Amino acid sequence: MSTSSSSWLCIWLSRLPLEVFTRGQANGNPGREHETGEHLQQDSKLVPIVVMEHRRVIQMNATAAQLGVAVGHSMDTTYALSDQVICYERKPEKEWQTLSYLSQWTYQFTPNISLRSPDMLLLDISGCLMLFDGLDNLKDQIGSGLQSMGFNAYLGVNRTPQAAICTTLGGLPDNRNNTSVERSLHTLQIQHLQTEPEHIKSLSRLGISTFGDMTRLPSASLNRRFGVYFNDYLCRLLGTRPDPLKFISEKPHFHSEINFLSDVTHLESLVFPVRRLLSELEAFLLCRQLSTSHLTWRLDHRSHPAKSVSLFLAAPGHDARMFLTLTQLKFEQIDDVAEVDSLSLTVQNFQPLQAQSSDLFHGTRFAQKEGSSLGKSGIESDQEIALLNILNARLGHDACFGLCMADDHRPEKAWRQLRFGGQVPTTVTTDDPADHNPRPVFLLNTPRFLNADNGEPRLGGPLMLVRGPERIDFGWWDQPDIDTPLARDYYTARQTTGELVWVFKHLPSDRWFLHGVFA
How many angstroms separate the CA atoms of 392 and 388, rounded?
Answer: 6
pLDDT at 7 over 60: yes
CB atoms within 10 A of CB 234: 22
Query: Can you tell me the distance from the alpha carbon of 47 to that of 60, in angstroms, rounded to the nearest whole number?
Result: 11
Q: Which residue has the higher pLDDT, 230 or 411?
A: 230
Q: What is the DSSP string of 448-459?
A: EEE-EETTEEBS
pLDDT greater than 70 at residue 4 = no
Task: Provide φ and ψ at 510, rounded to 5°.
Answer: 60, 35
Distances (CA, A) of 496 to 303, 317, 450, 461: 69, 51, 15, 6
Residues 166/192, Cβ–Cβ less than 8 Å = yes
- Pairing status of strand 113-116 against strand 86-89: unpaired
Give the whole-angstrom CA distance, residue 314 versus residue 236.
Answer: 51
Indicate whether 379 belongs to any domain: no
Query: At 375, is the pLDDT very low, low, confident or very high (cuts 50, 70, 90)?
Result: very low
pLDDT digits (tens, 9 = 90+) for 411-453: 877 777 776 655 555 555 544 544 567 888 888 888 999 999 9
For residues 104-131, give the mean pLDDT: 95
User: Which of 216, 238, 260 is the endpoint of a domain?
Assistant: 238
- For residue 368, is pLDDT > 60? no
Q: In the chain, how many domains are there?
A: 2
Q: What is the pLDDT of residues 389-406, one digit of tens each?
A: 888 777 776 777 777 777
What's the pLDDT score for residue 414? Answer: 75
Residue 95, domain member (yes or no): yes
Look at residue 232 and tell me if it is in a domain: yes
What pLDDT does residue 486 have? 74
| Nearest Cα residue to 103 out of 246, 279, 234, 294 | 246
Task: Please give the average per-residue pLDDT across 191-200, as a whole number.
Answer: 94
The per-residue pLDDT for 421 is 55
Closest alpha carbon to 41 in 59, 53, 55, 29:
29
Alpha carbons 3 and 25: distance in angstroms, whole number: 42
**Residue where one domain finishes, among candidates 238, 273, 288:** 238
Q: What does the pLDDT read at residue 134?
A: 94
Residue 396 covered by a domain:
no
Asked if 23 and 137 touch (Cβ cutoff 8 Å), the reply is no
What confidence tier does 44 reach under pLDDT thresholds 50, 70, 90? low
Separation of alpha carbons 478 and 261, rounded Å: 59
Which pLDDT value is given to residue 379? Answer: 44
Percent of the chain with pLDDT over 90: 61
Alpha carbons within 13 A on the beta-carbon side of 476: 10
Binned at pLDDT 50, 70 and 90, residue 36 comes out as very low
Residue 383 lies in a domain: no
Confidence of residue 124 (pLDDT cuts 50, 70, 90): very high
Residue 115 domain flag:
yes
So what's the pLDDT on residue 513? 95
Half-sphere exposure of 296 (CA within 13 A, CB side): 13
Q: Are 71 and 59 in contact (CB under 8 A)?
A: yes
Q: Report the C-alpha gap between 297 and 257 in whole angstroms.
A: 10
The secondary structure element, H or E, covering residue 307 is: strand 304-317
51 in Cβ contact with 193 (< 8 Å): no
pLDDT, tens digit, for every residue of 341-367?
999 999 999 999 876 555 545 455 544
Residues in the chain: 519
* Band of residue 501 on the pLDDT scale cut at 50, 70, 90: very high
Of 238, 272, 290, which residue constitutes the final position of a domain?
A: 238
* Band of pLDDT at residue 481, cut at 50, 70 and 90: low
- Asked if 281 contacts 255 with a C-beta cutoff of 8 angstroms, the reply is no
Specify if 439 maps to a domain.
yes
Q: Is the pLDDT of residue 30 over 50?
A: no
Residue bearing the bigger pLDDT, 430 or 163: 163
C-alpha 450/C-alpha 458 separation (Å) is 6
In terms of DSSP H, where are the helices of 23-89?
A: 33-36, 62-66, 75-81
pLDDT of residue 438: 84
| Closest to 110 in 3D by CA, of 173, 157, 147 | 157
Q: Residue 508 — pLDDT band, cuts 50, 70, 90?
A: confident
Q: Give which of 215, 191, 212 is closest to 202, Cα–Cα.
A: 191
Rounded to the nearest integer, the mean pLDDT of the chain is 85
- R_g over Cα of the chain: 34
| Residue-number span of the structural domain to which 133 is assigned | 8-47+84-238
Which SS3 state, helix, strand or coil, does residue 113 take?
Answer: strand
Give the amino acid at 469. Answer: P
Task: Kindly indicate the confidence band of residue 468, based on its pLDDT and cuts at 50, 70 and 90.
Answer: confident
Is 290 part of a structural domain of the chain? no
> Which whole number is the average pLDDT over 220-233?
90
The beta-carbon contacts of 271-274 under 8 Å, at least 24 apart in sequence, are 271/35, 271/37, 271/324, 271/328, 272/32, 272/35, 272/36, 272/37, 272/40, 273/24, 273/36, 273/40, 273/343, 274/324, 274/327, 274/328, 274/331, 274/343
Q: What is the 3-state secondary structure (H, E, C) of 388-444?
A: HHHHHHHHCHHHCCEEEECCCCCHHHCEEEECCCCCCCCCCCCCCHHHHCCCCCEEE
Quick check: 42 pLDDT over 50?
A: yes
